[in-house]
Structure 1
Amino acid sequence: MTTSLNVPPIAPGKLPLIGHAMPLLKDRLAFIQRLRTHGPIVRITVGPKTVTVVNSAELIQKMLTSQADEFTKGLLFEKLKLFGEDALPVAEGKPHLRRRRMMQPAFHRKQIAGYVNTMRDTVEPYITGWHEGTPLDLKTEMQLMTQGVVMSALFSSTPERKPALTILHSVDTVFTTALQRALMPISALERLPIRRNRKAQAAGSALRTAVTDIITEHRARPGAYDDIVSLLLTAQDDTGATLSDDEILSEVTGLLAAGSETTAVVLAWLFHELGRNPDLERQLHEEVDSVLAEGPLTAERIPRLAFTRRLVSETLRLYSPAWLVTRQAISAVKLGEFSLPAGSDVIWSAYALHRDPDLYPDPLRFDPDRWLPERPQPPKGAFIPFGSGKRMCMGDAFAWTEATIITALVASRWRLRPTPGTAVRPVGAITTHPSSLHMVPEARQHANTGNAR
């Protein structure tokens, strides 16, 4: 006697041979959002491959928390092993637990508070280097700025603009390659000596080379630095073992990549929205001017930037960088009312979740006041910009602090004006980034704290 399994339905629109490839290629963000209208879990096909899409906030939360041990990180993270086999972002099982425990002290909230001055001092030269009236490629500028912040915290140094751009392009190449390989998982193509593969290998090598000498310097002068690499050099697991240079290299490379790209695109979107909403821009300027009138931005003053924090929250909601996150079922698993076979590839989208009208009133409206404590808040699991459960991004507090500081410091000196005649749309690449975002800096006339007028 056999029992029929309740498998998720196939989403409408499947075509012979190619499945749902056409809408996925045409506008993947719109497609992934439309899938939410077809139920809590649906299946799509891309050529011969079937992928399960989890739409329900409740089921996503279960997959990330109470049922987390039934899933690995899945295809996208497997392809990101260009950073290293057991680097924290891609590690599984016991290696993941060991690395997380060893790295946790570097991202403790008290440690983050100690990074505030470093973040502020790193950011200010970037924004003072802008020229009034000269258009900025805002995504690139924010990437360079956040990369500089991460590098300052990681190993007490920031590169000049040209080598910084080399690192930035290498990060973009590695991430883009991982996404391409996840969307078209044909292992044989990854081994061919074609230009795309050679470029990915070169980018991975460039990233590793960029930090190798710095780790060697830290080894040679262990007492000369107070940064994340210093903490990793002394971190021990339960047996007293420390990380090897190669392990530290993998972690630093992964942190450098993940810590710069995601925060940068959030900040680009934030200033895009401010450029379209002068009332919100005015509120931000009033708050920032009030706080910075008392002195430089410090860890003690950051909690007073409540409106700034709500701007960051709303940007993380409306433009969540995580439009695609993967998992894979280790064995047969029951998720809600549905059964998934062992090896099932699963995806979910924070971008689509955060725009669900059943969870957020008027979801496409940029409204930072929806995060006021007196307003109704979304249900548990409906706002997860950094994931949830034991695999939640360990750098969430770092990212919140970094984004708040950069927003405040830019707003203290500049207004960023949109360039006329350009349409900006979200693009689902490795993150949800703007298609093209050029903005013109306009110096503020009444900025406080000694900033340029």
Structure 2
Amino acid sequence: MRSVKAVTASPPTSASVPTAPGGLPLIGHAHYLAKTPLPFITSLRDHGSVVRIRLGPTPAYVVTDPELTRTVLVTEAAHFAKGGKVFEVLRGVFGDGLATVADGDIHLRNRRLMQPMFNKAHIATRGNAMIDQVRSMVSAWEEDQLRNVFVDMNDVTLAAFLVALFGMDLPANLQREFAVLMPVIMKGAIRQTILPPWVTRLPLPANRAHTHRVARLRALIDQAIDHHSGRPVGTPPATAHDPAEAAGCPHRAAADNAQARLFETLLTAGDQFTRRQLQDEAITLMNAAIETTATTLAWTLYELTQHPEIEQCLRAELTAVCTGRPLIQEDLDRLPYSRQVLQEAVRKYGPAWMVTRIATRDIDLGGHHIPQGADIVWSPYLHQNDPAHFPEPATFNPDRWPSDRVPTTRDSLFAFGDGRRKCIGENFAWTEMQIILATILQTWPRLRLVSRPPRPQTAITVKPDKLTISFGSS
């Protein structure tokens, strides 16, 4: 393991930070981040534990050692505030949601108000309704149809999360438009992250389209809030979500009352949240619940097509636990191997690849001088594919995660962050991913990769560029 020094107030003897080679005038290293982002970000560990790059004319300091990243996020978090170019761009989409609001009293207050939504016991009250929603969608797939799995996983995770957030009766037209808008908005956001700021301010068609889509997303969130808050708590919806549900889901009667409670945590906060803040938090939660889980699930399904022995172990565990009946919420804690498989997909594919902080003062980080106001970049993908910490990182190996360590964010796994800004929805993400993976395996006994092996592609997450799988009953 690499040895690093502690953080101190920057003394005059601090070493300068090595600069990554290949920077160009005006754009800096943006051409690498645009064309070969993952090879570039992982190559930086060869140049030191902290490496200077330029995003346009702006310098940024990439932390390549996980010990120093933990210092930034946990032990010296007060000196590394959440912010930087990535978060400024995302704030244009999310507003001041929990993921992007500045450190301080507002963040602490909002996190405290929202924490009950994501307690494990409370998530469990929504599990069976999410299972019903996922089952209705997955079972509607046509046998042996060529499916774009990344698109499917975005649709399924969005639908499951909307059921948890707003209840069972959100109008279908809102769900469809959410599904169309979210991926395009995230693509536009990452484009703005890697381009020089002056380019993103020009009246270019791509910039105007991005602004229009964000405005439309806020309008949709407003409609969803109004729809949800217009029905008294505990009142069953007037119509079922789809014909299959109209026929009667086994968990539906109990689910409708429970489902109203998630977003009601915010609605009942009274004047502590304005309408704009409700929009910000709903958009933030939606992206967090969809982007990471959909990406992880898509990569997991791909890996199962490449490792039939892992798929067989998953199916054997599911059969032993469910004994021929459909999955229920109470089964999830008895599926440890599924958690290990998902943990390994999270490890291998990031899913986030670039996150930023801002130095609040001149400081020494690992023996290197970091000036006040500088962007600090850390990369879960870089750390989680470091052979010094994960031997043979390209190998998909769920056995590297013993069941007594799942889930974990210790060591060098930073997929959900760490410290006081650690992702509030981690418990929800594990529940949602287990539900979807188990339901797909129960519904479809056969998975087959139809497309070429996918290549990693960066957006907010590290997603597959093309992934087509057919699902069969035998």
After TM superposition, the score normalised by the length of structure 1 is 0.90
Residue equivalent to 1:214: 224
Deviation at 1:84, TM superposition (A): 4.5
Greater mean deviation of Cα atoms: 311-320 or 19-28? 19-28
CA contact (8 A) 1:59 1:335 kept: yes
> Residue 133 of structure 1: which of 140, 144, 153 is its match?
144
> Residue 54 of structure 2: which of 36, 42, 45 is its match?
45
For residues 331 and 178 of structure 1, the distance between their equivalents in structure 2, rounded to whole angstroms, comes to 28
1:406-437 deviations in Å (ceiling 9; x for gaps): 11110112145444462311011221000100
> Residue 394 of structure 2: which of 361, 364, 370 is its match?
364
Deviation at 1:265, TM superposition (A): 0.8
**Cα 1:319–1:428 shift into 2, 3 Å:** same
For residues 382 and 158 of structure 1, the distance between their equivalents in structure 2, rounded to whole angstroms, comes to 41
> Residue 350 of structure 1: which of 373, 376, 380 is its match?
380
Deviation at 1:45, TM superposition (A): 2.5
**Cα 1:371–1:432 shift into 2, 3 Å:** same
Residue equivalent to 2:269: 235
Q: Which stretches in structure 1 are left out of the alignment for 5+ residues?
A: 445-453
Deviation at 1:228, TM superposition (A): 1.8
Residue equivalent to 1:332: 362
Residue equivalent to 2:254: none
**Cα 1:15–1:166 shift into 2, 3 Å:** same
Residue equivalent to 1:201: 211
**Cα 1:396–1:105 shift into 2, 3 Å:** same
**Cα 1:31–1:434 shift into 2, 3 Å:** same
Residue equivalent to 1:302: 332
Over the aligned positions, Cα root-mean-square deviation in angstroms equals 2.4
Letter in 1 for 2:98: L
Question: Within the alignment, does 1:437 sit opposite 2:467 as a pair?
Answer: yes
Residue equivalent to 2:190: 179
**Cα 1:46–1:204 shift into 2, 3 Å:** closer
Residue equivalent to 1:102: 113
**Cα 1:84–1:372 shift into 2, 3 Å:** closer
Query: Which SS does the other structure have where 2:329 is aligned?
Result: coil
Letter in 2 for 1:246: R
For residues 231 and 294 of structure 1, the distance between their equivalents in structure 2, rounded to whole angstroms, comes to 36
Residue equivalent to 1:258: 288
Query: Which SS does the other structure have where 2:357 is aligned?
Result: strand
For residues 414 and 213 of structure 2, the distance between their equivalents in structure 1, rounded to whole angstroms, comes to 30
> Residue 92 of structure 2: which of 74, 82, 88 is its match?
82
CA contact (8 A) 2:409 2:415 kept: no
Using the aligned pairs only, state the percent identity: 34
Greater mean deviation of Cα atoms: 157-166 or 282-291? 157-166
Deviation at 1:320, TM superposition (A): 1.4
**Cα 1:203–1:379 shift into 2, 3 Å:** closer
**Cα 1:68–1:27 shift into 2, 3 Å:** same
Residue equivalent to 1:450: none
Letter in 2 for 1:43: R
For 1:268-417, what aligned pairs fall within 5 Å after superposition? 268-293=298-323, 295-373=325-403, 380-415=410-445, 417=447
**Cα 1:37–1:166 shift into 2, 3 Å:** same
Greater mean deviation of Cα atoms: 158-167 or 362-371? 158-167
Query: Which SS does the other structure have where 1:166 is aligned?
Result: helix
Residue equivalent to 2:4: none
Residue equivalent to 2:175: 164
For residues 417 and 86 of structure 1, the distance between their equivalents in structure 2, rounded to whole angstroms, comes to 41
CA contact (8 A) 2:409 2:416 kept: no
Question: Within the alignment, does 1:123 sit opposite 2:134 as a pair?
Answer: yes
Query: Which SS does the other structure have where 1:328 is aligned?
Result: strand
For residues 358 and 158 of structure 1, the distance between their equivalents in structure 2, rounded to whole angstroms, comes to 49
CA contact (8 A) 2:70 2:418 kept: yes
For residues 446 and 217 of structure 2, the distance between their equivalents in structure 1, rounded to whole angstroms, comes to 32
**Cα 1:218–1:158 shift into 2, 3 Å:** closer
Q: Which stretches in structure 2 are left out of the alignment for 5+ residues?
A: 1-10, 236-259
1:88-137 deviations in Å (ceiling 9; x for gaps): 11101222111111111111111111111121011001111111111000
Letter in 2 for 1:141: D
For residues 46 and 327 of structure 2, the distance between their equivalents in structure 1, rounded to whole angstroms, comes to 45
Query: Which SS does the other structure have where 1:65 is aligned?
Result: helix
Letter in 2 for 1:51: A
Residue equivalent to 1:143: 154
For residues 210 and 47 of structure 1, the distance between their equivalents in structure 2, rounded to whole angstroms, comes to 34
Letter in 2 for 1:151: L
CA contact (8 A) 2:449 2:470 kept: yes
Residue equivalent to 2:64: 55
1:24-65 deviations in Å (ceiling 9; x for gaps): 333110111111122211112344232210011111011111
Deviation at 1:73, TM superposition (A): 2.5
CA contact (8 A) 1:266 1:315 kept: yes
> Residue 12 of structure 1: which of 10, 21, 27 is its match?
21
After TM superposition, the score normalised by the length of structure 2 is 0.86
Letter in 2 for 1:203: R
For residues 161 and 426 of structure 1, the distance between their equivalents in structure 2, rounded to whole angstroms, comes to 32
Deviation at 1:11, TM superposition (A): 2.1
1:205-252 deviations in Å (ceiling 9; x for gaps): 22222221332244344423623221111136xxxx532222112211
CA contact (8 A) 1:18 1:46 kept: yes
Residue equivalent to 1:451: none
Aligned length: 438
Residue equivalent to 1:27: 36
> Residue 125 of structure 2: which of 110, 114, 119 is its match?
114
Query: Which SS does the other structure have where 2:290 is aligned?
Result: helix
Deviation at 1:178, TM superposition (A): 2.1
Greater mean deviation of Cα atoms: 21-30 or 301-310? 21-30
CA contact (8 A) 2:450 2:469 kept: no
CA contact (8 A) 1:322 1:385 kept: yes
For residues 96 and 22 of structure 2, the distance between their equivalents in structure 1, rounded to whole angstroms, comes to 39
